[in-house]
Chain A
Amino acid sequence: MGEPAKTPEVIIPTLERVDRDGALLEALDAAVGRTRAEFLRRAAMGSAALLGALAAPATAAGAPPGKKRDTAILNYGLAFEYLQAGFYTEAEQLGTIREMSQEQALWARTLGAHERAHVRILKKVLGRSAVGKPSFNYRGVTEDPDHFTQTAVAMEDLTVALLLGQAPRISDRGIRAALFSLLTVEARHAAWARHIIGVRPIGPALDRPKTLQGVDRVVRSTHFIVSRPRTSRSASPRFTG
């Protein structure tokens, strides 16, 4: 797989490295514009830069407010929920969760169930406009309980930042409001995950958006992208998670 030698520190993948078929890039592109999408994919998943960028108020990039943009944003959310759901499901399938303590296994299984439920929710709202299930490569992180858990913390924070940044951009206020109830759950996930790894469950007083200036880019040299099947719109993908 060409992974570098193991260091004591967990190497949390960038989105680019897990985005096997370019589905995340496509979804990001539609929601926030190509330039920002490219940047977001390269930043380290748990990094302040990425979180700040995701949570920051949108610029002129992307479509004007309306149903089309709502769809793009919800598909962006759906792509991330697929990312998370797949992550937990794979860990379950590989037996990694079985290796965990009872408490940690409950945490992992509960979050997996929630993320799969989030996929179903967003698919239902999007109907025929929903993107198909992407293909991700989790770079071995799902094979080890500790790596998995640390990456989960990063991923949950990521999703909170994403929802914070995008919820205000949704023009349908019912959907906008409903995203609050997913945002709070992702935030709970993040706090719970931190508690599991023994750090304080909370961060700053306000999950405040930051600017794009002074960011720190971590560019991974290798990534694995397979061209995406074009059948995503017509077929209703069976989610086997």
Chain B
Amino acid sequence: MSKTNAAPAPASRQQATRAVFLAKGALAGGVLATGVLWLGGRTGRAAQAPSRAQDERIFNFALGLEYLQAGFYAHAVEQGALSGELLEFAKTVGEQEREHVAYLRDRLGTAAREEPELDFGDLGADADRFARAAFVLEESGVAAYIGQGANLTVEAVRAAAPIVAVEARHAAWISDLVGRVPAPRAADAAGTAAQVQAALEAAGFTYPG
């Protein structure tokens, strides 16, 4: 796995509050964080040479995340604990994640992993828990795609880019809903597969491995 900079989405130990934005953090953190990814060398340290086979592995990893997202949002809507904009988020974004699942399955063809059995425990039982979990989920998705960017072939980059942009929009929306700055950094951080899985587990998810 390529070594990448910085941690991905914060784990659930960070309490999301309903307070309006943290003014200092938004500006200070943004500017300072920019240098890291870009000054770390052009091709990155130990970024793995792209190949079709590797694209497949990476897309299946991404597909796992999309299954998790699609499944969680559908589950949460069923639980009936959501209302207002949070419900709208779960419904609309859930639908989009299902489209992402279809898109990645289509690209992977017979190599696509099967839909896993998922158990969300009580993560969707109430609005606050849902929102915090969804935040980690979306931020993990963004970090994961960025983390794998250098390992993809050009064709895979072209295929992945439309999803990546939309995941970032999702992340911005849910950030707003949990009272966080929708765009906290000038350049988003990358996450390795291991980091992403750890963040998900800390939030109470099990990445379908």
Binding site for B on A (CB under 8 A): 57, 102-103, 106, 109-111, 113-114, 117-118, 120-121, 124-125, 160, 163-164, 167-168, 172-178, 180-185, 187-192, 195, 200-209
Which residue of the partner chain, among A57, A174, A191, contacts B182 with CB atoms under 8 Å?
A191
Residues of B contacting A207 in the complex (Cβ-Cβ under 8 angstroms): 161-162, 165-166
Q: What is the count of residue pairs linking A and B with beta-carbon distances less than 8 angstroms?
A: 179
* Interface of chain B: mostly helix, strand, loop or mixed: helix
B21 close to A181 (CB less than 8 A): no
Give B190's nearest chain A residue, CB to CB.
Answer: A181
Q: CA–CA, A76 to B169, complex, Å?
A: 23
Q: CA–CA, A185 to B175, complex, Å?
A: 13
Give B20's nearest chain A residue, CB to CB.
Answer: A103
Interface centre among A160, A168, A195, A204 (most CB of B within 10 A): A168
* Interface of chain A: mostly helix, strand, loop or mixed: helix
Which residue of the partner chain, among A109, A168, A172, A188, contacts B161 with CB atoms under 8 Å?
A168
Q: CA–CA, A189 to B30, complex, Å?
A: 13
B44 close to A174 (CB less than 8 A): yes
Residues of B contacting A192 in the complex (Cβ-Cβ under 8 angstroms): 172, 176, 182-183
B23 close to A106 (CB less than 8 A): yes
A185 close to B42 (CB less than 8 A): no
Binding site for A on B (CB under 8 A): 20-21, 23, 26-27, 30-31, 34-35, 37-39, 41-44, 47, 50, 88, 92-93, 95-96, 99-100, 103, 142, 145-146, 149-150, 152, 154, 157-158, 161-173, 175-176, 181-183, 185-190
B50 close to A173 (CB less than 8 A): yes
Residues of B contacting A124 in the complex (Cβ-Cβ under 8 angstroms): 38-39
In the complex where A124-B39, A176-B150, A203-B169 touch, is A164 in contact with B183 (Cβ < 8 A)?
no
B30 close to A164 (CB less than 8 A): no
CB distance from A123 to the nearest CB of B (A): 11
In the complex where A168-B161, A177-B44, A188-B171 touch, is A205 in contact with B100 (Cβ < 8 A)?
yes
B43 close to A172 (CB less than 8 A): yes
B166 close to A187 (CB less than 8 A): yes
Q: CA–CA, A207 to B160, complex, Å?
A: 10
A174 close to B21 (CB less than 8 A): no
In the complex where A109-B27, A185-B183 touch, is A177 in contact with B165 (Cβ < 8 A)?
no
Which residue of the partner chain, among B154, B163, B176, contacts A201 with CB atoms under 8 Å?
B176
Residues of B contacting A184 in the complex (Cβ-Cβ under 8 angstroms): 142, 145-146, 164-165, 167-168, 171, 188
B41 close to A174 (CB less than 8 A): yes
A183 close to B47 (CB less than 8 A): no
Residues of A contacting B100 in the complex (Cβ-Cβ under 8 angstroms): 205-206
Give A106's nearest chain B residue, CB to CB.
Answer: B21
